[in-house]
Amino acid sequence: MRTAMRRTFSTVSPRVANFNAGPAAMPLPVLEEAQKDLVNWKGCGMSVMEMSHRSKEYSSIHDKAIEDLTELMSIPDNYKVIFMQGGASTQFASVPLNLLGEDGTGDYLVTGSWSKGCAAEGARLGNANVVSSSADNNFTKIHDKSTWNLTPGAKYLSYCDNETVHGVEFAAPPDVEADLVADMSSNFISKPVDVSKFGLIYAGAQKNVGPSGVTVVIAREDLLGNAKATCPKMLDYKIHADKNSLYNTAPCFSIYMAGLVFAYNRSLGGLGAISEINKEKAGILYSQIADSDFFHSPVDPSCQSLMNVPFRIGQGGGNDEVEAKFIKEASAAGMVGLKGHRSVGGCRASIYNSVSLDNVKDLVAFMQKFELDNK
């Protein structure tokens, strides 16, 4: 007779200060709400992970998430909120397949790793014109608009509003005649955005919105229904919009978590209030770096990201051994995720909405002590 296997779980340790770039920190009240309802959502007898995506229980979750995001971002009536899968990288293909038509040209701004990959995918699927690339300055500064090689009559201008790897963020949307298409994965719902200035916005969830698995797309209605004949149905915006993002089995649990985040952010006073906190956090961290000759920011102050702060440590602009020591000791002190992206090295603090002001103050205090001990 087989005996039941028993599994023991360790006691949960205190939560760390999470500076990971993604998947990233989430609001503790959201996690606790999900924990409370994990096994039995609102008394229905099952978890969200077990529900049919066609059920009335899940429909209420799905529709509320769209409603809360619409209110949070003041999304105009002539835009559709679409939940898709495949991350922002899949949108690199979806955009040209849906918006270029058979012979249109898409303009691309290249300001870092993600917009570079986006432009390369666009070139595989249609006419892609790189209007400007800041590769010549190692993606540390955005070139002035006067130098851009814009295409007359372009279907869109694609750009990444915040480059997660290089820590470059646009202070304002580019002012061009073409429809703006923005990858906002790493600064989505971090500040107020005038959605009416964009043709399309997309964002992978795993930075500011929730767990990975869902990508939020906000599309102006007149751009829907123009997909190329070769566009797969799973990448056709109109198909998903017409089916309320339920053409196939949706990433239900990820949408549920995103919905909790949207509602939580509304309870904090909305994006205006959240933006002020984010500015304060970034200001404290950048001031510490600027006031030191031991820590160095590679990014021009005109475009320093409020979400992702890369920095180097050591005399002369960066010392791999010293940076490794910093990351190790910071982790031991309860501050994780400070290693820079593998493509650029160094250190990086991702200070998304759910990273608290106290977390940033603790990091700055640790940086000050580390400098005294290691300079």
Rounded distance between C-alpha atoms, residue 323 and residue 227, angstroms: 47
Q: Which of 68, 107, 114, 236 is catalytic?
A: 114
Which residues belong to CATH 3.40.640.10 in the chain?
33-267
Is there a catalytic annotation at residue 41? no
* pLDDT, tens digit (0-9, with 9 covering 90-100), for 318-327: 899 999 999 9
Q: Which of 107, 161, 183, 236 is catalytic?
A: 183
- Give me the chain's average pLDDT, please: 95
Please report the pLDDT score of residue 14 as a whole number.
83
Output the CA–CA distances (angstroms, integers) from residue 76 to 176, 221, 305, 319, in the order listed.
20, 10, 27, 49
Q: Which of 191, 207, 228, 339 is catalytic?
A: 207
* pLDDT, tens digit (0-9, with 9 covering 90-100), for 13-61: 589 999 999 999 999 999 999 999 999 999 999 999 999 999 999 999 9
The percent of residues above 90 in pLDDT, for the chain, comes to: 94
Give every CB contact of residue 359 below 8 A, 6+ residues apart in sequence.
Answer: 17, 18, 19, 335, 351
Please report the pLDDT score of residue 11 as a whole number.
45
Q: Which CATH architecture has domain 271-374?
A: Alpha-Beta Complex (3.90)
**Is-contact 99 106, C-beta < 8 A?**
yes
Tell me which amino acid residue 86 is. Answer: G
Which residues belong to CATH 3.90.1150.10 in the chain?
271-374
* pLDDT, tens digit (0-9, with 9 covering 90-100), for 271-302: 999 999 999 999 999 999 999 999 999 999 99
Task: Name the residue among 219, 216, 221 with its Cα closest to residue 187.
Answer: 216
The whole model's pTM is what? 0.95
Is there a catalytic annotation at residue 207? yes
317: pLDDT confidence band, cut at 50, 70 and 90? Answer: confident
Residue 196 has pLDDT above 70, yes or no: yes
Rounded distance between C-alpha atoms, residue 36 and residue 49, angstroms: 14
Return the CATH number of the domain spanning residue range 33-267: 3.40.640.10
